Structure 1
């Protein structure tokens, strides 16, 4: 085989590999753009859910504060009536205790009234407290999920830059340059492409 034929063979091989790399990289770049868009959408949804949970948690906390205020008012009236010796009025007010306060009050009396008031007891959990805690925890979880989804989208976007480098190197290798330079650029493009594919395989997929 002559030197000319060998050179032509290398040129054809370079062109074939170049076309293959360009095709594969174009598909992978489009895929990364699609995944970045999908994870961006998931981020927006998670942020929206976190915001909604925050609003609901605030409403539940407001409900708990209102319940505590009501219990304080009823208890103050009860203490005043009991202190004045108005047993009938005190019993009437006692029957108006909310179930949440009733539990704490009974435990307080049973344990010798060590605390200054039933409100200091662990048993006292006004209505809306658990709901506020659950919703606040959900908001925190959704916010963290949104940040994670945002990072995933950014990772795919950064990978498109890596594949753009592959396209650049491959395109440069197809120009009228010294054969050894073309092969070097093409080899470098192939290495970068392989690295990009390996990294891509570790990323989560969202369809």
Structure 2
């Protein structure tokens, strides 16, 4: 439907994933994670430079670790995107180790108990870097009450801070579904429809 309505869809193969072997993944671990965010921003910049799109029509979507990516991009490059979908995200990187399954990801992100890793976690934490004076794109944040992997506290804290700063946002919390969101087809379709409406309203020209 997105493509049929004239939309463009781009997948960014950024460092930190497993697409190109262990070295590609290793480059995005711990303090190397900023390379992941730089890669993603560079893809967005390239799309604009090649006139494939422009910031007014450029949106991003990520869930779980990708939700962290979307949150980081929103706070590090707020003028680059006009829509940001932040799904079942990690966003409070200063406390992620003590929330839900966070302690199991220390090898990936680092630990607040290691001073140099703590400094980097503070540097990238979207929750920490929300600022009242910055104009952000209006995000769509979604999570699940029953998520036992990331947990809804990340999304709730981020939304609460945006509300405190009087920043507009959309927030949806499914009471079921867990982290994968596959409780049933109807609920998955409902959440995807919310995303589609949000992205269409933010990015599609109105005819």
TM-score bracket relative to the smaller structure: under 0.3
Rg larger in structure = 1
Q: Which has the higher strand share?
A: 2
- Asked which structure has the greater RCO (Cα within 8 Å, sep 6+), the reply is 1
Query: TM-score, normalized by length of structure 2?
Result: 0.22
Q: TM-score, normalised by structure 1?
A: 0.22
Report the structure, 1 or 2, having the larger helix content: 1
